[in-house]
Each structure stands twice: as structure tokens, then as C-alpha cells.
Chain A
Amino acid sequence: GENVEQHPSTLSVQEGDSAVIKCTYSDSASNYFPWYKQELGKGPQLIIDIRSNVGEKKDQRIAVTLNKTAKHFSLHITETQPEDSAVYFCAASSGAGSYQLTFGKGTKLSVIP
């Protein structure tokens, strides 16, 4: 099955700086890569996603890049704000069932004012 590795597990940045979170996946058939943000006591919420036919996608301060050859994808957050503090999860579709997401273990991002 699919295996998703995520790094780092924790990340602290000063407000206004950029944050980068990286993930690798194992199944070359995976074709959908979402990123979810989870605040304490809440369910995960989709912040951005990318499909295998696209190399980069941007939405305001958030961008995701995908390298299918190397099987890795990254989340970039620019001009970080305290409200960006949360746990971020990358995920990949299993390929066999696009609804069946395999998540990484998460990155706890702390933005220091």
C-alpha cells in the first residue's frame, strides 16, 4: 500500500517568515495530493490540493509543488501569521481508490509573534 513520510514533525517560525513542509510517497500510481490543516479539537480542513498532471499550484500565501519523478511534494506558506499555527497533514490517494487517502504523521507549525 501507499506510504507517506512527512518532515519536519515540528516547525517554529517567526511571524512574517516562510514555512516549508515536505512529504514523500511510495506508490507511483498515486495521483492526488491534498494538504489539510487541523486546529486543536477540530477536524482536518483542506487548504490546497494538487493533481499529478500539475507541477505547482498557488492560492494566495499558500503554494504546493509536486515532483512525480522523485515522488515528493511540498507545502510553502509565505508571510506566516499567528493564525497559521496548527498541525498540517499531507496525504496521497492510494491509486486503487482515490477516496482512500493515506496521511503523513503531521507537522506542528508554531508561528511566533
Chain B
Amino acid sequence: GAGVSQTPSNKVTEKGKYVELRCDPISGHTALYWYRQSLGQGPEFLIYFQGTGAADDSGLPNDRFFAVRPEGSVSTLKIQRTERGDSAVYLCASSWGTATGELFFGEGSRLTVL
């Protein structure tokens, strides 16, 4: 695939459950980002990876949220003890490097917490 791939596209879970969202970036892109988009809002920055390490996780709302990118390609966003307020579309993006430039977004994973 040529674009950023995110799975699942939709996830419905119950309050208190654990959730994993997966992102497969464009091949060769070293930078990977997670953003969260609530209904009627613009995307909000969560975390940025350069290679395998989280270069900036200042956007993660609390310690229930965690993300990994163990081999510098695929990333997983993990949410523990989900709350109804976590319901949103989680967007992943990738880019060639750290300089400002185009972010290539996936179609997102829509999370609904009942």
C-alpha cells in the first residue's frame, strides 16, 4: 500500500477496557505521529516518534495512554482503562524526517467507549 494504514478503522469498547490501535506508516518514513480528533475539532498532537524512540510525548493526556514503535516502522497506541471521554478518531501520520513538511495522514481509527 502506498499510504498510511490504520487498523482497526472502527473500535467499540466498554468503559474500563484496554485498547490497541495500530499504524503502518509509508515505507521509508522515519517520523511517525499520533493525533486525536474529537467531533467538530481539529486534530490534537499526542506523540511523535523519530525512528524507534518517542522524541516528544508531551501531548499524551495522561498515563493511561502509551505508544510504542519497537522496530522503527509500525506503531501501536495503547489506551488502558478507557473512559467515555477517550472517544474520538485517532489519526496516525508519517513523514520523511524532522524538518517541517508534509504529514501524510491515515484515515484514522474511530474509537467509541460505551
Contact = CB atoms under 8 A, between A and B. Distances in A.
A101 B45 contact: yes
B83 interface: no
A49 B102 contact: yes
Contacts of B44: 103
A97 B46 CA distance: 13
A99 B100 contact: yes
A28 B93 CA distance: 26
In this complex, the interface size class of chain B, counting residues with CB under 8 Å from chain A, is 20 to 34
B42 A100 contact: no
B108 interface: yes
Interface stretch (A38-46, A54-62, A66-74, A76-84): A38-46
Contacts of A43: 4, 91, 93, 105-108
B43 A100 contact: no
B31, B44, B48, B103: residue with the most chain A Cβ atoms closer than 10 Å:
B103
